[in-house]
Structure 1
Amino acid sequence: MTPKDCIVERTMRMFVSHGIRAVRMDDVAQQLGVSKRSLYELFGDKEGLLYQAMVRYFDDSRRRWAELSAGAGNVLEQLFMVLGDVMDRSEETGRLMDSLKRLYPAVHDKLMREGSVRNREELRAMLRQGIADGLFIGSIDIDLAISVLYYTASALVSRRDLLLPEGISERKAFVQIVSTFFRGISTAEGLRLVDAYRARYE
């Protein structure tokens, strides 16, 4: 890892722990033992450092998803694992993105655009794999399915004030709603697996 990468990594952890507003360039310089001048030469300003730190945050998420789902039996189980982790970490991610939207809207919008492209590409590959494996029906419109799943998951993650029936946890609600989506595009074998994974990952 280069010195610049180390700065990005450690600063990302500071933003996660203390909040974006609270972390100043002075704090980064002091905590990391580098000069403010070096920080400005490397990143331009706090916005430049913040952008790179948040890119690292989402790259770390993708690495974690790959590790988490390495033992999945099929792409459907992989989707349950990844989406469950998204839900479990939604409070932290939502807090960071809400702060970005308020304080650094240009950074927020750039990350959202870039993230949407990557997420859609990954979902497209997974849905195609599910079709090839006989878990999803081949006649689905993949791009429409991606939009429904992406925006449903995004809404559930960002709307933590969602009114839920008494006694149902956010995770259980999330798994139930995602399961309903998968049931709608599944073959008979896919349906069997959806029901099994729903019971396991709630």
Structure 2
Amino acid sequence: MQVLKDSSAYRLALREKIMDTAMQAFIRQGIRAVRMDDIAQQLGISKRTLYEIYEDKEELLLQSIKKYNAQRVATLTEYAAQGHNVIDIVLEAYRLKLAETRMVNPVFFSDIIKYPKVEKYIKNTREYFRDKFVLFVNKGIQEGYFKKSKNLNLIPLLMDAVGDYIMSNQLLQQYPAEELFDSFYLLPLRGLCTEQGIRKLDEAIAKIQ
């Protein structure tokens, strides 16, 4: 019984280690450049063992992205729970996303559209966070930092569309990440802010630059 328990614990630990190793390789080299053989070799395991845990590269990529996103959400949730206002939370999300983008090989973003399961997951995730966005903005309206808007649902749709354009046209390979993020993230945010919100936003930006 103890042997089975230890074996199960080892398998779970190995599963996590595979995801971490794969994700680092994907963001550093791009997805298509990384082979399952490379991951198995880096971990010192057989390719057979790797395929017993993940049926193919797309499944490994999908689970790795899910884990990464869950960690990012947990980080922001913990930050928000510390009593920060909406401007601070938005800027923390901006800081994390900018730091992430700086580390990622731009090829990663153009590669990702070639994996249907991952694309479907990203689409579903976006729809989930659009609803969260509306709740978040309403909180900001109550705090006095955001203006009332007739159609809040339109804002995340437009931001997603701009983000897709940036990725599909490989603009991250042509412009610094800071310039792109200022254009499609901070400018719409500023337009949403009240005068009080703009002052708070400028103060927060000054602290992270």
Q: Mind listing any 5+ residue stretches in structure 2 that lack a counterpart?
A: 1-8
Q: Is the 1:29–1:35 contact (alpha carbons within 8 Å) kept by the matching residues of 2?
A: yes
Task: Give 1:79 shift.
Answer: 0.6
Whole-angstrom CA distance in 2 between matches of 1:71 and 1:173: 29
Q: Is the 1:69–1:81 contact (alpha carbons within 8 Å) kept by the matching residues of 2?
A: no
Q: Does 1:100 align with 2:107?
A: no
Mapping for residues 62-77 of structure 1, pairs under 5 Å: 62-66=73-77, 73-77=84-88
Amino acid at match of 1:52: Q
Aligned length: 195
Secondary structure of the corresponding residue to residue 98 of structure 2: helix
Whole-angstrom CA distance in 2 between matches of 1:95 and 1:86: 17
Q: Mind listing any 5+ residue stretches in structure 1 that lack a counterpart?
A: 164-168
Q: Partner residue of 2:35?
A: 24
Root-mean-square deviation (Å): 3.2
Q: Partner residue of 2:152?
A: 142
Mapping for residues 14-163 of structure 1, pairs under 5 Å: 14-66=25-77, 73-91=84-102, 92=104, 94-101=106-113, 104-152=114-162, 155=165, 159-160=171-172
Whole-angstrom CA distance in 2 between matches of 1:20 and 1:173: 23
Q: Partner residue of 1:166?
A: none
Q: Is the 2:61–2:118 contact (alpha carbons within 8 Å) kept by the matching residues of 1?
A: no
Whole-angstrom CA distance in 2 between matches of 1:173 and 1:31: 34
Whole-angstrom CA distance in 2 between matches of 1:172 and 1:70: 30
Deviations 1:44-84 (A, max 9, x none): 12222122122223333334444666667311121122123
Amino acid at match of 2:204: Y
Q: Partner residue of 2:204?
A: 197
TM-score (norm 2): 0.72
Q: Partner residue of 1:8?
A: 19
Structure 1 stretch 124-133 or stretch 89-98: which is displaced more?
Answer: 89-98
Change (3 A) 1:201 1:24: same
Secondary structure of the corresponding residue to residue 89 of structure 1: helix
